[in-house]
Structure 1
Amino acid sequence: MVDPQAVDVHRFRAGTRPPREGEDAAQVLRRLEAALAEWTGDPLHGMQSRWAAGVRQDLRARRRRCLIEIADMSLSMQDRRDLSGLLGVYLTEEPFDELVVEKCMLTLSASGQTSRALELYTDTRVRLLDELGIEPSASLQKINLELLRQ
């Protein structure tokens, strides 16, 4: 039998579990970041079964929730780290995920990079218009306006 801690997907799932009683925000943040470090590519790449597709979908959703939670926690803790690399990798794969664009813009601004946040909005808006024929969501537009007013 293989030790579950020897398998990256098990380490990822363990790291993305809900916080335990007594676990402080800094510990949760470190655990989530360690879990994301386990993400090294598309899960079950090359497997075409319904089971593999379901597992892949679940893991992708966990990754997204983990990214959003890291961004939210960093913002609430007034952590000024630049998370654009972490969030940007995801956005290259899922460029229309406006919630993650919002989190990336907010963390960029919090780390003193408001101009990059505004560039991200412009790039996202152009992509949405060109490829889907739609404007960004109201919440994304609101963040853009708030950053422009700073």
Structure 2
Amino acid sequence: MDIDVLGTLAVREHGVSVTPSAPKPRQVLALLALNVNQVVPVSVLTEELWGVQPPRSARPTLQTYVLQLRELIGAALACSGDSEQRSAKDVLMTVPGGYLLRSVEGTSDVKEFERLAGAGYRAMDGEDYPEAARRLRDALALWTGSALADIQAGVHLEPQIKRLEESRLCALDQRIEADLRLGRHRGLLAELTVLVSRYPTHENLCGQYMLALHRSGRRGEALSAYQRLRTTLVRTLGLEPSAPLVKLQRAILVSGPETAAAPGTLAERAGTVAAGLTRAG
């Protein structure tokens, strides 16, 4: 079974789609797919579909959705000629207290993303920045949109989707970090312009944007980016920027326009901007 959730939901058995078109069965499949090879309790599925006050018909309605999913799985197995070896109930199993979507073989875009991102993080730790950038770029390429973009998420899917999106943002942050360390600041400017607009309170992205601007000889724009972030933080959260970002802003402010920052953490950047250890390319 092949499972894709990093975008729209797509579940295939032997290459045949088993993704239903109706919203509620899709929601059930999404939760089962995110927890593949794990038992999902009936109570969790019920809360996902109807919240904390489900209708009296919740249990039989859920059973109907499971039946619809099994019909799709059975049709896929029949198309592949595998129906003699496995039944739909072997793939979508009823277990004590819940259901389990079983996938012995197949692909998972989440698992592949985690594998590639993990390799990228290890390369970053080893200061192999070309390899880190390559691995993290490959990991991010698996995303075709927001996680489960076509699913109406309930109380259990929503935090899992947020977790996936946070993982994506962490990988993106580290990929940009690797590119900065490789001196690719000019090539990052367009991407970072979009990202700081999309995540207006994300301090590390702002710091990366400030660094890329400064290293490209655009010190004034780097300082303006800091001021926009500070205004947004104060107005929306009542917070001042973190100490490392303030230090970076001050270092850029006192540095000459020809000075460029070496890559590193926000704190490292602040020190190297002030010292002028690296000059813009």
TM-score (norm 2): 0.45
Which residue in the other structure is 2:202 paired with? Answer: 97
What is the number of residues matched between the two proteins? Answer: 148
Measured in 2, the distance between the counterparts of 1:9 and 1:100 equals 24
- Which one has a larger percent strand, Structure 1 or Structure 2? 2
Change in 2 beyond 3 A, CA 1:73/1:123: same
Change in 2 beyond 3 A, CA 1:142/1:24: closer
Which residue in the other structure is 2:221 paired with? Answer: 116
Which residue in the other structure is 1:29 paired with? Answer: 133
Deviation at 1:9, TM superposition (A): 4.3
- What is the aligned counterpart of 2:188 among 83, 103, 106? 83
**Residue 71 (structure 1) aligned with residue 189 (structure 2):** no
Q: 17-26 vs 120-129, which deviates more?
A: 17-26
Change in 2 beyond 3 A, CA 1:33/1:85: farther
Structure 2 matches for 1:12-27, cutoff 5 A? 12-19=113-120, 24-27=128-131
**Residue 141 (structure 1) aligned with residue 246 (structure 2):** yes
Secondary structure in structure 2 of the residue aligned to 1:74: helix
Deviation per CA, 1:22-64, whole angstroms, max 9, x where unpaired? 9943122022123323334321123313442233122222222
Whether the 8 Å contact between 1:128 and 1:134 is mirrored in structure 2 is yes
Unaligned runs of 5+ in 2: 3-105, 256-281
Measured in 1, the distance between the counterparts of 2:248 and 2:217 equals 15
- Which one has a larger percent helix, Structure 1 or Structure 2? 1
Deviation at 1:75, TM superposition (A): 3.0
Measured in 2, the distance between the counterparts of 1:60 and 1:87 equals 17
Whether the 8 Å contact between 2:210 and 2:226 is mirrored in structure 1 is yes
Unaligned runs of 5+ in 1: none
Measured in 2, the distance between the counterparts of 1:90 and 1:78 equals 19
Measured in 1, the distance between the counterparts of 2:153 and 2:206 equals 30
